[in-house]
């Protein structure tokens, strides 16, 4: 793995882990991002925070990196509707009482970039360990 890919991997994993931390600090703000008909909002927020921690940790280890990359991709696709919902209805960022509408659209518009990023940094990581078929 080249140095830029390695740095990109650790930056992504650290950002994902930090995102998980924010789900506990700003739990009610994240809960607002879910439509009114969704039950157990705080539990969903906590589960997504823990999921981000686990995925970040699994990205660090070469043995689990590729699977974690696919898992993170699936996770980012699953949370995209909440980000779009927040942007459409002007729900402020979880740590804020007011967020400009344009800023709310940054998150869902950049989600494909995050997906590309995690797939690039998690690709072919098992080759070093002799798992060429994975």
pLDDT digits (tens, 9 = 90+) for 21-58: 999 999 999 999 999 999 999 999 999 999 999 999 99
Residue 129 placed within a domain: no
Neighbours of 19 (CB within 10 A): 16
- 78-106, pLDDT tens digit by residue? 999 999 999 999 999 999 888 899 999 99
Model confidence, pTM: 0.87
Query: Is residue 133 one of the residues assigned to a domain?
Result: no
CA distance 33 to 85: 7
Residue 131, in any domain of the structure: no
Of 66, 50, 52, 60, the residue nearest 122 (C-alpha): 66
Does the residue 22 lie in any domain?
yes
Residue 128 lies in a domain: no
Q: Do 92 and 30 touch, CB atoms closer than 8 A? A: no
Counted domains in the chain: 1
Q: Which domain holds residue 96?
A: 3-123
- The confidence score (pLDDT) of residue 134 equals 39
CA dist., res. 68 & res. 71, Å (int): 5
Q: CB-based contacts of 77: which residues, under 8 Å, 6+ apart?
A: 115
Q: 130 in a domain, yes or no? A: no
Residue 24 lies in a domain: yes
The reply to whether 118 falls in a domain is yes
């Amino acid at each position: 793995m080249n140095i830029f890919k390695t740095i990109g991997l650790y930056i992504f994993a650290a950002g994902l882990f930090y995102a998980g931390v924010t789900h506990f600090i700003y739990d009610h703000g994240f809960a607002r991002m879910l439509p009114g008909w969704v039950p157990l909002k705080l539990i969903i927020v906590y589960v997504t925070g823990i999921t981000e921690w686990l995925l970040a940790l699994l990205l660090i280890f070469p043995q689990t990196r590729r699977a974690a990359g696919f898992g993170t991709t699936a996770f980012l696709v699953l949370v995209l509707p909440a980000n779009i919902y927040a942007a459409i209805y002007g729900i402020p960022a979880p740590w804020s009482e007011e967020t400009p509408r344009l800023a709310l659209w940054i998150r869902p518009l950049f989600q494909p970039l995050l997906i590309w990023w995690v797939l690039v940094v998690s690709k072919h990581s098992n080759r070093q360990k002799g798992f060429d078929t994975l």
